[in-house]
Amino acid sequence: MNKEEIDNEKYNNNMDPDKNMENPEETMDKTEEVAENTTASNEKTAEEKYAELYDNYLRLFSEFDNFRKRSMKERSELIKTAGNDVIKSVLPAIDDLERAIKNFDTADKETLQQGIQLLYSKIKNILGEKGLVEMNPVGEKFDADQHEAITQLPAPGEKEKGQILDVIEKGYKLNEVIIRYPKVVVYI
């Protein structure tokens, strides 16, 4: 018999209901074998899916961990160099101050006063460019959220009650955030 005849005979045997019913145990064994093979292939697929999902999980976990470490490193570097810009801009004023100290003995009083005034203006301008604003609340109404009362004096009239008479120590805002509250004398 050639291959074609064997295939036809198998086909005919499967199509003949009498031949299939002659040995029901053999048919049951074949059905169980097919079911076992199908289950085994499903288990293999489930194991492969699990391995794939676990691999994806590990990759995502590693990627997140690397991101977290990189973010922490960048944040620490930013904190270390946060004042870099301000310090660089103040350095010329420090250089001027060093030159003034060197010439302190040879300069007259008026020249020293002018030099100190120039240095003060230079530093104030540099910090102003960086967003520093001086708070001078003299004559304003006292606000506990914006001022710190050091001394209270009796008001000469009803109109002056709650007003700020004098500033003992100036306050400063950096980009609209108070970084030092002004210490003031208030009429009560």
Helix (H) or strand (E) holding 76: helix 24-80
**Tokens 């306050």 sit at which residue?**
171
For 131, 138, 174, the CA distances from 178, given in Å and listed in that order, are 11, 17, 6
pTM: 0.58
CB under 8 A, 24+ apart: contacts of 106-115: none
Tokens coding 47: 């194991």
Quick one: pLDDT at residue 107? Answer: 82
Q: Please give the Cα distance from 86 to 92 (Å, whole number).
A: 11
Measured between alpha carbons, how far is residue 92 from residues 34, 80, 87, 99, 122 in Å? 88, 21, 10, 11, 9
pLDDT tens, residue order, the chain (188 aa): 555 665 556 555 555 545 444 455 665 565 566 555 555 555 678 889 999 999 999 999 999 999 999 999 999 988 888 788 888 999 999 999 998 888 888 888 898 889 899 999 999 999 999 999 999 899 999 999 999 999 999 999 898 899 999 999 999 999 999 999 999 999 99
